[in-house]
Amino acid sequence: MAERVIPLHPHRPAPQALHVPAQALVQGASLADQLGRPLRDLRISVTDRCNFRCSYCMPKEVFDKDYPYLPQSALLSFEEITRVARQFVQLGVRKIRLTGGEPLLRKNIEILIEQLAQLRTPDGQPLDLTLTTNGSLLARKAQSLKDAGLQRVTVSLDGLDDAVFRRMNDVDFPVAEVLAGIEAAQAVGLGPIKVNMVVKRGTNEHEILPMARHFHGSGQVLRFIEYMDVGATNGWRMNEVMPSAEVVRTISAEMPLVPMEAAAPGETAERWAYADGGGEVGFISSVTQAFCGDCNRARLSTEGQLYLCLFASQGHDLRTLLRGGASDAELAAAIAHVWQGRSDRYSQLRSQLPADASSATSGRRVEMSYIGG
Ligand code: SAM
Ligand code: SF4
Ligand code: SF4
């Protein structure tokens, strides 16, 4: 039988081999990268598949039925994910976010959540354990997620108008089911719930005010995300980005906003409060206001590659170490070593380029659905 040749994947560059350094491991508390940034936040992508085809993330023309998704054997198992996560926690991680693709499509995700919920920081504290979802399966799964130990959810929702929403998810999914998911999550105590809206000029900016009105006073925090040049398939153009400052002005004209203090260093969203006491809104402005300076996030891809930046062109191969018999101490040492060498600050560099430049790195970038948002 002819040998099957597996082609190099167009959106998953070959990973960099990870080495266990000879020198002793630096203790987590003092672990810092080249720009002095600690390691606090770990985002874990549990699947590269999704039931939506948002054009800014998994455009239908590319992610079609022939798209080479990862085979099951390539995925980290729940035990492998938990083992890696435990090392990250030893090195300073305090927050874990499950993402994807659509994380609720990963079979038995509740089992992984149960395992992660048992992890403790070196001083015995539980982690901040959360998950980002498109909400399509949330009404059905909210209770089991809560029971498994999930603390909060973030739900992505790009508009309230059913026709606009169906067009944006590009699989004709009705908005009412996502809203029911948000309600179910609220009812079982998966709050405070954050709702992420990607604003794409020319597509959904007229949904800004209806969304702001809907979530005003609800206790659910709406966050506006600037459309980012992540990945290589969404055909990103600067003129489709609506700067957060413009969104602030749009909302303020009807419902005045006042700036708030950041809750924690490294927080992605700039927070504003409604002057009338109707809660807060957030703005994630990675295009117009880079926040690389205190970025403390690491990303673990679906197949166990460690990425140091959302825009990185290459990951570091933790899976080979994991499956090759490395001890926990060796895994932790390898992760610490990679983090200490980190100097990524893509958004900051891109903001120094002319407005019409499409990329600040020459290498290929991985897709958001692969390393998670
Ligand atoms: N499927 C889940 C969801 O949509 O919530 C989790 C994964 S998704 C990749 C994570 C987040 O990234 C979502 O809030 C999504 O809106 C955001 N996202 C994806 N592509 C983006 C882009 N090009 N610019 C800005 N945000 C993007
Ligand atoms: Fe799927 Fe989320 Fe990407 Fe939309 S943003 S295609 S829901 S992974
Ligand atoms: Fe962090 Fe990279 Fe985003 Fe900058 S561009 S905030 S370094 S993930």
> Domain residues of the chain, as ranges?
32-371
Q: Which ligand is nearest to the CA of 45?
A: 1
From 196, 285, 301, give the residue whose CB has the most ligand 1 atoms within 8 Å, as the site to mutate.
Answer: 196
CATH superfamily, with its number, for domain 32-371 = Aldolase class I (3.20.20.70)
Q: Structure tokens of 323? A: 């499956």
Q: Which ligand is nearest to the CA of 39?
A: 3
d(CA 295, CA 91): 16
Residue nearest to atom 3 of ligand 2 (CA): 57
d(CA 54, CA 276): 34
208 near 195, Cβ under 8 Å?
no
- Per-residue pLDDT at 262: 78
Question: Which residues make Cβ contacts (< 8 Å) with residue 61, sequence separation at least 6?
Answer: none
The 3-state secondary structure of 325-363 reads: CCCHHHHHHHHHHHHHCCCCCHHHHHCCCCCCCCCCCCC
105 near 51, Cβ under 8 Å?
yes
Task: State the 10-residue block means of pLDDT for the chain, 373 residues long.
Answer: 45 77 66 96 98 95 94 96 98 97 98 98 97 98 98 98 97 98 98 97 96 97 93 83 96 97 82 97 91 93 95 93 95 96 89 60 66 70
Q: Is 164 helix (H, G, I), strand (E, B) or coil?
A: helix
Cβ count near 123 (within 10 Å): 6
Q: Which ligand is nearest to the CA of 298?
A: 3
CA of 40 to the centre of ligand 3 (A): 14
* Residue of 260, 178, 246 lying closest to 209 (CA atoms): 246
216 near 279, Cβ under 8 Å?
yes
Question: Ligand 1 in contact with 133 (CB < 6 A)?
Answer: yes
d(CA 145, CA 137): 11
CA of 2 to the centre of ligand 1 (A): 40
d(CA 316, CA 14): 9
Nearest-atom index, ligand 2, CA of 101: 8
Long-range CB contacts for residues 63-72, cutoff 8 Å, separation at least 24: 63/233, 63/369, 68/7, 68/9, 70/302, 70/303
d(CA 141, CA 161): 24
Residue nearest to atom 8 of ligand 2 (CA): 101
Question: Ligand 3 in contact with 184 (CB < 6 A)?
Answer: no
Question: Ligand 3 in contact with 215 (CB < 6 A)?
Answer: no
Q: Which ligand is nearest to the CA of 224?
A: 1
CA of 309 to the centre of ligand 3 (A): 5
Nearest-atom index, ligand 2, CA of 53: 6
DSSP letter, residue 269 = S
Question: Ligand 1 in contact with 50 (CB < 6 A)?
Answer: yes
Alpha-carbon dihedral 294, 19, 369, 248, rounded to 10 degrees: 10
CA of 319 to the centre of ligand 2 (A): 25
Q: For the chain, what percentages of helix, strand and coil (3-state, to nearest 5) are there?
A: 30, 15, 50
CA of 246 to the centre of ligand 3 (A): 22
Say how far residue 50 (Cα) sits from the centre of its chain. 14
CA of 116 to the centre of ligand 2 (A): 23
Pair type for strands 257-259 and 270-274 = antiparallel
Residue nearest to atom 4 of ligand 3 (CA): 292
Q: Partners of 297 in the beta sheet?
A: 41
- Per-residue pLDDT at 115: 98
Identify the burial level of 4 via C-beta atoms within 10 angstroms of its C-beta, where 0-12 means exposed, 13-18 middle and 19 or more buried.
exposed
d(CA 169, CA 154): 17
pTM above 0.75? yes
* Cβ < 6 A, ligand 2 pocket: 50, 52-54, 57-58, 100-102, 134, 156, 369
Which residue matches tokens 């997620």? 145
d(CA 279, CA 176): 23
Q: Which ligand is nearest to the CA of 158?
A: 1
- Per-residue pLDDT at 7: 43
From 58, 138, 198, give the residue whose CB has the most ligand 1 atoms within 8 Å, as the site to mutate.
Answer: 198
- Per-residue pLDDT at 261: 87
- Per-residue pLDDT at 24: 57
From 39, 97, 228, 292, give the residue whose CB has the most ligand 3 atoms within 8 Å, as the site to mutate.
Answer: 292
* Residue of 255, 260, 263 lying closest to 273 (CA atoms): 260
